[in-house]
Chain A
Amino acid sequence: MTQFGQREAWIRELLAEAGQACLDDAGVEGSEVEHLYVSNMASGEFEGQTGIANAVAHDLNAIPAYTARIDQTSSSGGAGVYSAWQSVASGASDLTMLVGGEKMTHRSTAEATDVIASLTHPAEYKHGVTLPSFAGLTARRYLHVHDAPRESLAKVAVKNHKNGVDNPHAQFQKEVDLETVMESPIIADPLRLYDFCPITDGSAALMFCPESVAAEYTDDYVTVAGIGGATDTHVVHERADPTVMGGVVDSGEEAYEMAGLGPEDIDMAELHDMFTILEFLQSEGLGFFEPGEGWKAIDEGVTDRDGELPINTSGGLKSKGHPLGASGVAQIYEVYQQLMGTAGPRQVKAETGLACNVGGFGNCVITTILEASQ
Protein backbone atom coordinates (compact mmCIF):
# COMPACT_ATOMS: atom_id res chain seq x y z
CA MET A 1 0.00 0.00 0.00
CA THR A 2 1.04 3.59 -0.50
CA GLN A 3 1.57 6.20 2.15
CA PHE A 4 -1.87 7.44 3.21
CA GLY A 5 -2.38 11.16 3.75
CA GLN A 6 -2.14 14.30 1.68
CA ARG A 7 -0.36 13.27 -1.50
CA GLU A 8 0.69 15.19 -4.58
CA ALA A 9 0.00 12.19 -6.82
CA TRP A 10 -3.33 11.96 -8.67
CA ILE A 11 -5.59 8.91 -8.71
CA ARG A 12 -3.95 7.11 -11.63
CA GLU A 13 -0.50 7.55 -10.11
CA LEU A 14 -1.64 6.44 -6.65
CA LEU A 15 -3.22 3.27 -8.05
CA ALA A 16 -0.17 2.48 -10.16
CA GLU A 17 2.14 3.00 -7.17
CA ALA A 18 0.31 0.47 -4.98
CA GLY A 19 -0.26 -1.86 -7.91
CA GLN A 20 3.41 -1.96 -8.89
CA ALA A 21 4.48 -2.51 -5.27
CA CYS A 22 2.08 -5.47 -5.09
CA LEU A 23 3.39 -6.95 -8.35
CA ASP A 24 6.97 -6.59 -7.12
CA ASP A 25 6.17 -8.14 -3.73
CA ALA A 26 4.38 -11.08 -5.33
CA GLY A 27 7.01 -11.60 -8.03
CA VAL A 28 4.37 -11.33 -10.73
CA GLU A 29 4.61 -9.53 -14.09
CA GLY A 30 1.71 -7.27 -14.98
CA SER A 31 1.17 -9.20 -18.17
CA GLU A 32 0.52 -12.38 -16.15
CA VAL A 33 -2.52 -10.86 -14.40
CA GLU A 34 -5.76 -12.31 -15.78
CA HIS A 35 -8.28 -10.11 -13.96
CA LEU A 36 -7.64 -6.60 -12.63
CA TYR A 37 -10.25 -4.93 -10.41
CA VAL A 38 -9.97 -1.29 -9.42
CA SER A 39 -11.91 -0.22 -6.33
CA ASN A 40 -12.79 3.45 -6.43
CA MET A 41 -15.86 5.44 -5.47
CA ALA A 42 -15.65 8.70 -7.31
CA SER A 43 -12.59 9.51 -9.42
CA GLY A 44 -14.89 11.18 -11.93
CA GLU A 45 -16.48 13.40 -9.32
CA PHE A 46 -13.27 14.16 -7.40
CA GLU A 47 -10.84 14.56 -10.26
CA GLY A 48 -12.59 14.26 -13.62
CA GLN A 49 -10.79 11.03 -14.42
CA THR A 50 -13.01 8.17 -15.56
CA GLY A 51 -12.05 4.83 -17.09
CA ILE A 52 -9.43 4.25 -14.42
CA ALA A 53 -9.49 0.44 -14.63
CA ASN A 54 -8.12 0.60 -18.15
CA ALA A 55 -5.74 3.42 -17.23
CA VAL A 56 -4.23 1.43 -14.38
CA ALA A 57 -4.08 -1.74 -16.47
CA HIS A 58 -1.96 0.10 -19.01
CA ASP A 59 0.31 1.62 -16.36
CA LEU A 60 0.90 -1.84 -14.87
CA ASN A 61 1.16 -3.55 -18.25
CA ALA A 62 -1.74 -5.76 -17.18
CA ILE A 63 -2.74 -6.28 -20.78
CA PRO A 64 -4.87 -8.02 -22.02
CA ALA A 65 -6.39 -8.71 -18.55
CA TYR A 66 -10.12 -8.35 -17.98
CA THR A 67 -10.56 -5.13 -16.01
CA ALA A 68 -13.43 -3.44 -14.22
CA ARG A 69 -13.91 -0.60 -11.77
CA ILE A 70 -15.74 -1.59 -8.60
CA ASP A 71 -17.81 1.13 -6.90
CA GLN A 72 -19.70 0.44 -3.71
CA THR A 73 -19.03 3.89 -2.15
CA SER A 74 -16.98 3.53 1.06
CA SER A 75 -17.02 -0.25 0.74
CA SER A 76 -15.66 -0.24 -2.80
CA GLY A 77 -12.50 -1.89 -1.46
CA GLY A 78 -14.41 -4.71 0.21
CA ALA A 79 -16.57 -5.13 -2.88
CA GLY A 80 -13.34 -5.41 -4.86
CA VAL A 81 -12.18 -8.15 -2.51
CA TYR A 82 -15.49 -9.90 -3.16
CA SER A 83 -15.09 -9.60 -6.95
CA ALA A 84 -11.47 -10.74 -6.84
CA TRP A 85 -12.33 -13.72 -4.63
CA GLN A 86 -15.28 -14.56 -6.90
CA SER A 87 -13.13 -14.46 -10.03
CA VAL A 88 -10.75 -17.02 -8.55
CA ALA A 89 -13.38 -19.17 -6.79
CA SER A 90 -15.40 -19.41 -10.00
CA GLY A 91 -12.39 -20.52 -12.00
CA ALA A 92 -12.63 -17.50 -14.29
CA SER A 93 -9.15 -16.31 -13.31
CA ASP A 94 -6.01 -17.93 -11.94
CA LEU A 95 -4.35 -14.64 -11.09
CA THR A 96 -6.40 -11.62 -10.06
CA MET A 97 -5.11 -8.30 -8.88
CA LEU A 98 -7.10 -5.79 -6.85
CA VAL A 99 -6.08 -2.16 -6.53
CA GLY A 100 -8.14 0.30 -4.53
CA GLY A 101 -7.60 4.01 -4.22
CA GLU A 102 -9.02 7.49 -3.93
CA LYS A 103 -7.69 11.02 -4.43
CA MET A 104 -9.62 13.46 -2.22
CA THR A 105 -7.50 16.07 -0.45
CA HIS A 106 -7.41 18.56 -3.33
CA ARG A 107 -11.10 19.19 -2.56
CA SER A 108 -12.33 21.31 0.35
CA THR A 109 -13.94 19.47 3.27
CA ALA A 110 -17.34 20.84 2.20
CA GLU A 111 -16.90 19.62 -1.39
CA ALA A 112 -15.60 16.18 -0.37
CA THR A 113 -18.44 15.83 2.14
CA ASP A 114 -20.91 16.64 -0.64
CA VAL A 115 -19.42 14.13 -3.08
CA ILE A 116 -19.85 11.44 -0.43
CA ALA A 117 -23.30 12.72 0.63
CA SER A 118 -24.45 12.37 -2.98
CA LEU A 119 -24.98 8.67 -2.25
CA THR A 120 -28.01 9.59 -0.13
CA HIS A 121 -31.68 9.40 -1.15
CA PRO A 122 -33.11 12.69 -2.54
CA ALA A 123 -35.34 12.87 0.55
CA GLU A 124 -32.16 12.93 2.66
CA TYR A 125 -29.93 14.99 0.37
CA LYS A 126 -32.33 17.93 0.14
CA HIS A 127 -32.14 18.37 3.92
CA GLY A 128 -28.35 18.62 3.75
CA VAL A 129 -27.90 15.21 5.35
CA THR A 130 -24.27 14.06 5.29
CA LEU A 131 -22.55 10.88 6.44
CA PRO A 132 -21.13 12.67 9.51
CA SER A 133 -24.65 13.83 10.42
CA PHE A 134 -25.91 10.23 10.25
CA ALA A 135 -23.12 9.41 12.69
CA GLY A 136 -24.22 12.19 15.07
CA LEU A 137 -27.84 11.03 14.90
CA THR A 138 -26.89 7.42 15.57
CA ALA A 139 -24.38 8.20 18.30
CA ARG A 140 -26.92 10.25 20.26
CA ARG A 141 -29.48 7.44 20.01
CA TYR A 142 -26.90 4.80 21.01
CA LEU A 143 -25.73 6.73 24.07
CA HIS A 144 -29.36 7.39 25.05
CA VAL A 145 -30.67 3.85 24.63
CA HIS A 146 -27.67 2.05 26.12
CA ASP A 147 -26.88 4.62 28.79
CA ALA A 148 -23.30 4.73 27.56
CA PRO A 149 -20.92 7.53 28.53
CA ARG A 150 -19.81 9.99 25.84
CA GLU A 151 -16.21 9.23 26.81
CA SER A 152 -16.55 5.65 25.52
CA LEU A 153 -16.68 6.99 21.95
CA ALA A 154 -13.65 9.17 22.59
CA LYS A 155 -11.77 6.12 23.81
CA VAL A 156 -12.15 4.55 20.34
CA ALA A 157 -10.29 7.52 18.89
CA VAL A 158 -7.62 7.36 21.59
CA LYS A 159 -7.08 3.62 21.03
CA ASN A 160 -6.92 3.80 17.26
CA HIS A 161 -4.60 6.80 17.24
CA LYS A 162 -2.33 4.92 19.62
CA ASN A 163 -2.27 1.93 17.23
CA GLY A 164 -1.60 4.18 14.26
CA VAL A 165 1.63 5.47 15.78
CA ASP A 166 3.25 2.19 14.77
CA ASN A 167 1.85 2.13 11.24
CA PRO A 168 4.30 3.84 8.87
CA HIS A 169 1.57 4.14 6.21
CA ALA A 170 -0.89 5.94 8.51
CA GLN A 171 -1.93 9.53 7.92
CA PHE A 172 -1.67 10.37 11.63
CA GLN A 173 1.14 8.67 13.49
CA LYS A 174 0.48 10.45 16.73
CA GLU A 175 -1.44 9.76 19.90
CA VAL A 176 -4.31 11.88 21.15
CA ASP A 177 -5.52 11.93 24.74
CA LEU A 178 -9.08 11.73 25.99
CA GLU A 179 -9.20 15.39 26.92
CA THR A 180 -8.14 16.48 23.42
CA VAL A 181 -10.90 14.37 21.84
CA MET A 182 -13.54 15.56 24.31
CA GLU A 183 -12.65 19.21 23.82
CA SER A 184 -12.25 19.17 20.03
CA PRO A 185 -14.78 21.16 17.98
CA ILE A 186 -18.31 19.81 17.54
CA ILE A 187 -18.86 18.40 14.03
CA ALA A 188 -22.18 16.59 14.42
CA ASP A 189 -23.36 16.89 17.99
CA PRO A 190 -22.58 14.87 20.15
CA LEU A 191 -19.63 13.89 17.95
CA ARG A 192 -16.50 16.01 17.74
CA LEU A 193 -13.64 16.39 15.31
CA TYR A 194 -11.66 13.43 16.67
CA ASP A 195 -14.66 11.13 16.32
CA PHE A 196 -14.22 11.35 12.54
CA CYS A 197 -11.70 9.93 10.11
CA PRO A 198 -9.79 12.42 7.96
CA ILE A 199 -9.99 13.07 4.22
CA THR A 200 -7.21 11.10 2.63
CA ASP A 201 -5.33 10.22 -0.57
CA GLY A 202 -3.96 6.72 -0.91
CA SER A 203 -4.04 3.32 -2.52
CA ALA A 204 -3.58 -0.35 -1.60
CA ALA A 205 -3.35 -3.56 -3.60
CA LEU A 206 -3.69 -7.33 -3.18
CA MET A 207 -3.10 -10.42 -5.31
CA PHE A 208 -5.55 -13.35 -5.40
CA CYS A 209 -5.07 -16.84 -6.85
CA PRO A 210 -5.91 -20.48 -6.11
CA GLU A 211 -3.63 -22.10 -3.52
CA SER A 212 -2.17 -24.34 -6.20
CA VAL A 213 -1.01 -21.27 -8.12
CA ALA A 214 0.21 -19.49 -4.98
CA ALA A 215 2.57 -22.38 -4.34
CA GLU A 216 4.34 -21.55 -7.63
CA TYR A 217 5.29 -18.13 -6.29
CA THR A 218 5.64 -18.41 -2.53
CA ASP A 219 5.16 -20.37 0.65
CA ASP A 220 3.85 -17.32 2.44
CA TYR A 221 0.23 -16.45 1.88
CA VAL A 222 -3.11 -16.31 3.68
CA THR A 223 -6.44 -17.76 2.57
CA VAL A 224 -9.92 -16.29 2.29
CA ALA A 225 -11.90 -18.51 4.66
CA GLY A 226 -15.20 -16.72 4.25
CA ILE A 227 -16.71 -13.63 2.70
CA GLY A 228 -20.17 -12.11 2.70
CA GLY A 229 -21.77 -9.04 1.21
CA ALA A 230 -25.11 -7.50 2.15
CA THR A 231 -27.26 -4.46 1.50
CA ASP A 232 -29.53 -2.47 3.80
CA THR A 233 -32.12 0.21 3.00
CA HIS A 234 -31.08 3.24 0.95
CA VAL A 235 -33.16 5.43 3.25
CA VAL A 236 -31.37 5.13 6.58
CA HIS A 237 -34.23 6.15 8.90
CA GLU A 238 -36.41 3.26 7.68
CA ARG A 239 -34.30 0.67 9.52
CA ALA A 240 -36.10 -0.96 12.42
CA ASP A 241 -33.41 -0.14 14.99
CA PRO A 242 -31.26 2.96 14.35
CA THR A 243 -28.43 1.44 16.38
CA VAL A 244 -28.21 -1.81 14.39
CA MET A 245 -26.58 -2.13 10.98
CA GLY A 246 -28.39 -4.99 9.24
CA GLY A 247 -25.78 -5.19 6.50
CA VAL A 248 -23.08 -5.86 9.10
CA VAL A 249 -25.15 -8.60 10.71
CA ASP A 250 -26.09 -10.23 7.40
CA SER A 251 -22.66 -10.06 5.75
CA GLY A 252 -21.05 -11.32 8.97
CA GLU A 253 -23.36 -14.31 9.19
CA GLU A 254 -22.63 -15.16 5.56
CA ALA A 255 -18.87 -14.94 6.10
CA TYR A 256 -18.99 -16.99 9.32
CA GLU A 257 -21.06 -19.67 7.63
CA MET A 258 -18.70 -19.96 4.67
CA ALA A 259 -15.69 -20.13 6.98
CA GLY A 260 -17.34 -22.55 9.38
CA LEU A 261 -16.34 -20.18 12.16
CA GLY A 262 -18.02 -17.94 14.70
CA PRO A 263 -17.17 -14.64 16.36
CA GLU A 264 -15.37 -16.50 19.16
CA ASP A 265 -12.86 -17.81 16.60
CA ILE A 266 -11.69 -14.37 15.46
CA ASP A 267 -8.30 -13.32 16.85
CA MET A 268 -8.21 -9.73 15.54
CA ALA A 269 -10.43 -7.48 13.44
CA GLU A 270 -10.22 -4.40 11.26
CA LEU A 271 -13.51 -2.50 11.51
CA HIS A 272 -14.72 0.48 9.49
CA ASP A 273 -14.28 3.25 12.07
CA MET A 274 -15.09 6.10 9.69
CA PHE A 275 -16.79 7.45 12.83
CA THR A 276 -16.07 6.21 16.36
CA ILE A 277 -19.66 5.06 16.84
CA LEU A 278 -19.28 2.63 13.93
CA GLU A 279 -16.73 0.54 15.82
CA PHE A 280 -19.40 -0.21 18.45
CA LEU A 281 -22.11 -0.97 15.89
CA GLN A 282 -19.87 -3.36 13.97
CA SER A 283 -18.37 -5.12 16.98
CA GLU A 284 -21.94 -5.79 18.16
CA GLY A 285 -23.34 -6.64 14.71
CA LEU A 286 -20.56 -9.15 14.13
CA GLY A 287 -21.32 -10.87 17.43
CA PHE A 288 -18.12 -9.96 19.28
CA PHE A 289 -20.24 -8.33 21.97
CA GLU A 290 -23.92 -8.29 22.88
CA PRO A 291 -26.06 -5.43 21.48
CA GLY A 292 -25.42 -2.32 23.53
CA GLU A 293 -22.29 -3.77 25.13
CA GLY A 294 -19.65 -2.70 22.60
CA TRP A 295 -18.84 0.43 24.57
CA LYS A 296 -18.06 -1.60 27.67
CA ALA A 297 -15.41 -3.58 25.78
CA ILE A 298 -13.40 -0.47 25.03
CA ASP A 299 -13.80 0.68 28.61
CA GLU A 300 -12.32 -2.62 29.79
CA GLY A 301 -9.47 -2.65 27.26
CA VAL A 302 -10.74 -5.79 25.52
CA THR A 303 -10.15 -4.26 22.06
CA ASP A 304 -6.71 -2.79 22.82
CA ARG A 305 -3.72 -4.18 20.95
CA ASP A 306 -2.84 -6.30 24.00
CA GLY A 307 -6.47 -7.10 24.75
CA GLU A 308 -8.48 -10.24 24.19
CA LEU A 309 -9.74 -9.09 20.77
CA PRO A 310 -7.56 -6.38 19.23
CA ILE A 311 -9.59 -4.12 16.93
CA ASN A 312 -8.01 -1.83 14.36
CA THR A 313 -4.37 -2.60 15.02
CA SER A 314 -3.60 -0.62 11.85
CA GLY A 315 -4.94 2.53 13.49
CA GLY A 316 -8.22 2.07 11.63
CA LEU A 317 -9.68 4.59 9.24
CA LYS A 318 -9.54 6.99 12.16
CA SER A 319 -5.76 7.26 12.27
CA LYS A 320 -4.63 5.56 9.07
CA GLY A 321 -6.98 7.68 6.94
CA HIS A 322 -9.87 6.82 4.64
CA PRO A 323 -9.16 7.07 0.93
CA LEU A 324 -12.60 5.63 0.14
CA GLY A 325 -11.82 2.96 -2.49
CA ALA A 326 -8.57 1.97 -0.77
CA SER A 327 -9.87 1.41 2.75
CA GLY A 328 -11.40 -2.05 2.32
CA VAL A 329 -8.25 -3.20 0.56
CA ALA A 330 -5.99 -1.73 3.23
CA GLN A 331 -8.03 -3.47 5.94
CA ILE A 332 -7.25 -6.81 4.32
CA TYR A 333 -3.60 -5.80 3.99
CA GLU A 334 -3.45 -5.26 7.76
CA VAL A 335 -5.10 -8.61 8.47
CA TYR A 336 -2.67 -10.21 5.99
CA GLN A 337 0.31 -8.69 7.77
CA GLN A 338 -0.97 -9.79 11.17
CA LEU A 339 -1.54 -13.37 9.99
CA MET A 340 1.85 -13.44 8.26
CA GLY A 341 3.58 -12.16 11.38
CA THR A 342 5.00 -9.14 9.57
CA ALA A 343 3.15 -6.37 11.41
CA GLY A 344 6.26 -5.27 13.31
CA PRO A 345 5.51 -3.31 16.47
CA ARG A 346 1.76 -3.69 15.77
CA GLN A 347 2.00 -7.50 15.79
CA VAL A 348 -0.60 -9.44 17.74
CA LYS A 349 -1.04 -13.19 18.09
CA ALA A 350 -3.50 -14.14 15.38
CA GLU A 351 -4.29 -17.03 13.09
CA THR A 352 -7.74 -15.84 12.03
CA GLY A 353 -8.66 -12.24 11.26
CA LEU A 354 -11.76 -10.40 10.10
CA ALA A 355 -12.31 -7.19 8.15
CA CYS A 356 -15.61 -5.33 7.89
CA ASN A 357 -15.92 -2.63 5.25
CA VAL A 358 -18.99 -0.38 5.37
CA GLY A 359 -20.42 1.61 2.46
CA GLY A 360 -22.74 4.56 2.92
CA PHE A 361 -24.10 4.47 6.46
CA GLY A 362 -24.30 0.70 6.53
CA ASN A 363 -26.03 0.72 3.13
CA CYS A 364 -23.62 -1.91 1.76
CA VAL A 365 -21.27 -4.05 3.82
CA ILE A 366 -18.59 -6.62 3.03
CA THR A 367 -17.20 -8.89 5.74
CA THR A 368 -14.15 -11.02 5.02
CA ILE A 369 -12.45 -13.65 7.18
CA LEU A 370 -8.84 -14.62 6.50
CA GLU A 371 -6.85 -17.51 7.89
CA ALA A 372 -3.10 -18.08 8.06
CA SER A 373 -2.01 -20.84 5.70
CA GLN A 374 -0.70 -24.02 7.28
Chain B
Amino acid sequence: MSDADSGESTDQPAMEAARYPDGSILYPSHPVGPDGNEPVETVDLSEYTATLITWTSSTATPPGVRQPNHLGIVEFDVEGEPVRAIGQLTTDDVEIGDTVEAVYAEELREPGAGIREPESQAWDGYQFQPVE
Protein backbone atom coordinates (compact mmCIF):
# COMPACT_ATOMS: atom_id res chain seq x y z
CA MET B 1 0.00 0.00 0.00
CA SER B 2 1.04 3.55 -0.58
CA ASP B 3 2.55 5.45 2.27
CA ALA B 4 0.82 8.59 1.02
CA ASP B 5 -0.55 10.52 3.97
CA SER B 6 -4.00 10.83 2.46
CA GLY B 7 -5.67 9.47 5.57
CA GLU B 8 -7.40 6.85 3.44
CA SER B 9 -5.14 3.93 4.06
CA THR B 10 -7.88 1.32 3.96
CA ASP B 11 -9.66 -0.23 0.98
CA GLN B 12 -7.30 1.23 -1.58
CA PRO B 13 -6.75 -1.09 -4.50
CA ALA B 14 -3.17 -1.66 -5.63
CA MET B 15 -1.78 0.33 -8.55
CA GLU B 16 -1.41 -2.95 -10.29
CA ALA B 17 1.21 -3.50 -12.99
CA ALA B 18 2.09 -6.85 -14.51
CA ARG B 19 5.50 -8.47 -14.74
CA TYR B 20 6.18 -10.67 -17.78
CA PRO B 21 8.59 -13.60 -18.22
CA ASP B 22 11.13 -11.38 -20.00
CA GLY B 23 11.31 -9.18 -16.89
CA SER B 24 9.41 -6.25 -18.35
CA ILE B 25 6.68 -4.64 -16.27
CA LEU B 26 3.70 -2.93 -17.90
CA TYR B 27 1.08 -0.59 -16.53
CA PRO B 28 -1.74 -1.22 -17.21
CA SER B 29 -1.42 -4.96 -17.56
CA HIS B 30 -2.12 -6.67 -20.88
CA PRO B 31 -3.16 -10.25 -21.66
CA VAL B 32 0.30 -10.84 -23.14
CA GLY B 33 3.56 -8.90 -22.84
CA PRO B 34 6.13 -7.77 -25.41
CA ASP B 35 7.53 -11.30 -25.56
CA GLY B 36 4.09 -12.77 -26.30
CA ASN B 37 3.76 -14.47 -22.92
CA GLU B 38 1.19 -14.07 -20.16
CA PRO B 39 2.14 -12.15 -17.01
CA VAL B 40 3.74 -14.08 -14.16
CA GLU B 41 3.00 -11.72 -11.25
CA THR B 42 1.66 -8.33 -10.29
CA VAL B 43 3.55 -5.35 -8.90
CA ASP B 44 1.95 -2.57 -6.82
CA LEU B 45 3.46 0.61 -8.24
CA SER B 46 2.04 2.72 -5.39
CA GLU B 47 4.83 1.32 -3.22
CA TYR B 48 7.41 3.12 -5.36
CA THR B 49 8.16 6.70 -6.34
CA ALA B 50 8.46 7.83 -9.95
CA THR B 51 10.17 10.50 -12.06
CA LEU B 52 8.13 12.95 -14.13
CA ILE B 53 8.95 12.41 -17.81
CA THR B 54 6.63 15.10 -19.16
CA TRP B 55 3.43 16.90 -18.25
CA THR B 56 0.69 19.12 -19.59
CA SER B 57 -2.20 21.14 -18.31
CA SER B 58 -5.23 20.65 -20.52
CA THR B 59 -7.85 23.38 -20.62
CA ALA B 60 -10.14 21.88 -23.29
CA THR B 61 -11.49 18.95 -21.32
CA PRO B 62 -14.33 16.56 -22.19
CA PRO B 63 -17.59 16.26 -20.21
CA GLY B 64 -17.07 15.06 -16.63
CA VAL B 65 -13.37 15.96 -16.53
CA ARG B 66 -11.93 18.63 -14.22
CA GLN B 67 -10.75 21.83 -15.87
CA PRO B 68 -7.90 22.39 -16.14
CA ASN B 69 -6.73 18.80 -16.12
CA HIS B 70 -3.06 18.42 -15.18
CA LEU B 71 -1.61 15.22 -16.62
CA GLY B 72 1.77 13.59 -16.44
CA ILE B 73 3.70 10.65 -17.81
CA VAL B 74 5.92 9.24 -15.08
CA GLU B 75 8.52 6.49 -14.88
CA PHE B 76 8.78 4.22 -11.86
CA ASP B 77 11.99 2.43 -11.04
CA VAL B 78 11.04 -1.06 -9.83
CA GLU B 79 14.35 -2.54 -8.75
CA GLY B 80 16.03 -1.30 -11.90
CA GLU B 81 13.14 -2.01 -14.28
CA PRO B 82 11.58 1.18 -15.71
CA VAL B 83 7.76 1.24 -15.73
CA ARG B 84 5.83 4.15 -17.24
CA ALA B 85 2.36 5.31 -16.32
CA ILE B 86 0.07 8.18 -17.23
CA GLY B 87 -2.19 9.94 -14.80
CA GLN B 88 -3.57 13.12 -13.39
CA LEU B 89 -1.22 15.38 -11.43
CA THR B 90 -2.38 16.96 -8.19
CA THR B 91 -0.74 20.24 -9.25
CA ASP B 92 0.79 21.96 -12.25
CA ASP B 93 3.61 23.29 -10.08
CA VAL B 94 5.98 20.66 -11.45
CA GLU B 95 9.00 20.25 -13.72
CA ILE B 96 10.34 17.42 -15.83
CA GLY B 97 12.55 15.31 -13.56
CA ASP B 98 10.53 15.87 -10.39
CA THR B 99 10.01 12.89 -8.08
CA VAL B 100 6.34 12.03 -7.59
CA GLU B 101 4.33 9.53 -5.58
CA ALA B 102 1.02 7.89 -6.38
CA VAL B 103 -2.02 8.94 -4.35
CA TYR B 104 -5.36 7.20 -4.61
CA ALA B 105 -8.49 8.97 -5.88
CA GLU B 106 -11.92 7.33 -5.73
CA GLU B 107 -13.19 9.09 -8.85
CA LEU B 108 -10.91 10.59 -11.50
CA ARG B 109 -13.71 11.80 -13.76
CA GLU B 110 -17.48 11.66 -13.56
CA PRO B 111 -18.72 8.30 -14.86
CA GLY B 112 -21.57 8.65 -17.34
CA ALA B 113 -20.85 12.28 -18.26
CA GLY B 114 -18.74 11.25 -21.24
CA ILE B 115 -19.47 8.96 -24.15
CA ARG B 116 -18.13 5.75 -22.57
CA GLU B 117 -20.52 3.35 -20.87
CA PRO B 118 -20.09 3.85 -17.09
CA GLU B 119 -20.11 0.13 -16.33
CA SER B 120 -17.50 -0.70 -18.96
CA GLN B 121 -14.49 0.39 -16.93
CA ALA B 122 -13.18 1.60 -13.57
CA TRP B 123 -13.12 5.30 -12.72
CA ASP B 124 -10.89 5.29 -9.64
CA GLY B 125 -7.12 5.26 -9.77
CA TYR B 126 -3.91 6.97 -8.84
CA GLN B 127 -2.91 10.58 -9.27
CA PHE B 128 0.67 11.74 -8.96
CA GLN B 129 1.90 14.37 -6.55
CA PRO B 130 5.38 15.79 -6.09
CA VAL B 131 7.34 14.40 -3.15
CA GLU B 132 8.30 17.08 -0.56
- Which residues of A approach B to under 8 Å, CB–CB? 45, 109-111, 113-115, 117-118, 121-130, 132-133, 136-138, 140-141, 144, 185-191, 235-238, 242
Is B102 interfacial (CB 8 A cutoff)? Answer: no
B60 touches A122 (CB 8 A): no
A236 touches B54 (CB 8 A): no
- Which residues of B approach A to under 8 Å, CB–CB? 26-28, 30, 53-66, 69, 71-73, 84-88, 92, 96, 108-109, 114-116, 120-125
B122 touches A126 (CB 8 A): yes
B73 touches A186 (CB 8 A): no
Cβ contacts A to B, 17 pairs, < 8 Å: A110-B60, A111-B63, A113-B62, A117-B62, A125-B121, A126-B122, A128-B61, A128-B109, A129-B71, A133-B69, A137-B54, A137-B56, A141-B54, A188-B57, A188-B58, A190-B56, A236-B86
Q: In whole Å, how far is B113's beta carbon from the nearest beta carbon of chain A?
A: 9
A237 touches B85 (CB 8 A): yes
Q: In chain A, what residue has the closest Cβ to B125? A: A126
Q: In whole Å, how far is A70's beta carbon from the nearest beta carbon of chain B?
A: 21
B114 touches A130 (CB 8 A): no
List, in ascending order, chain A residues with CB within 8 A of B120's CB: 122
Known interface pairs A114-B63, A137-B56, A235-B28. Does A125 touch B86 (Cβ–Cβ under 8 Å)?
no
Known interface pairs A128-B69, A137-B71, A237-B84. Does A123 touch B62 (Cβ–Cβ under 8 Å)?
no
Of listed B27, B57, B66, B108, residue having the most chain A CB within 10 A: B57
Q: In chain B, what residue has the closest Cβ to A190? A: B56
List, in ascending order, chain A residues with CB within 8 A of B61's CB: 110, 113, 128, 130
Q: How far apart are the CA atoms of A110 and B110 in the complex, in Å?
A: 14
List, in ascending order, chain A residues with CB within 8 A of B55's CB: 137, 140
A186 touches B57 (CB 8 A): yes
Which of B58, B73, B114 is close to A187, meaning CB atoms less than 8 Å apart?
A: B58
B121 touches A126 (CB 8 A): yes
Q: How far apart are the CA atoms of A293 and B90 in the complex, in Å?
A: 34
B125 touches A130 (CB 8 A): no
List, in ascending order, chain B residues with CB within 8 A of A141's CB: 53-54, 73, 96
List, in ascending order, chain A residues with CB within 8 A of B62's CB: 110-111, 113-114, 117, 128, 130
A115 touches B56 (CB 8 A): no
List, in ascending order, chain A residues with CB within 8 A of B124's CB: 126
A144 touches B86 (CB 8 A): no
Q: How far apart are the CA atoms of A190 and B92 in the complex, in Å?
A: 12
List, in ascending order, chain B residues with CB within 8 A of A123's CB: 27-28, 86, 125
Known interface pairs A45-B115, A122-B121. Does A127 touch B86 (Cβ–Cβ under 8 Å)?
yes
List, in ascending order, chain B residues with CB within 8 A of A129's CB: 71, 86
A109 touches B60 (CB 8 A): yes
Q: In chain A, what residue has the closest Cβ to B30? A: A235
Known interface pairs A45-B115, A138-B54, A235-B28. Does A187 touch B59 (Cβ–Cβ under 8 Å)?
yes
Q: In chain A, what residue has the closest Cβ to B92? A: A189
Q: In whole Å, how far is A144's beta carbon from the nearest beta carbon of chain B?
A: 5
Which of B28, B85, B115, B123 is close to A114, meaning CB atoms less than 8 Å apart?
A: B115
14 more CB-based (< 8 A) A-B contacts, given A126-B108, A128-B66, A130-B62:
A110-B63, A126-B122, A126-B123, A126-B125, A127-B109, A129-B86, A133-B71, A137-B56, A186-B59, A189-B56, A190-B56, A235-B26, A236-B86, A237-B73
Q: How far apart are the CA atoms of A38 and B109 in the complex, in Å?
A: 34
B71 touches A238 (CB 8 A): no
List, in ascending order, chain B residues with CB within 8 A of A140's CB: 54-56, 96
A122 touches B56 (CB 8 A): no
Q: How far apart are the CA atoms of A188 and B108 in the complex, in Å?
A: 18
List, in ascending order, chain A residues with CB within 8 A of B27's CB: 123
Q: How far apart are the CA atoms of A137 and B94 in the complex, in Å?
A: 13
Q: How far apart are the CA atoms of A273 and B59 in the complex, in Å?
A: 20
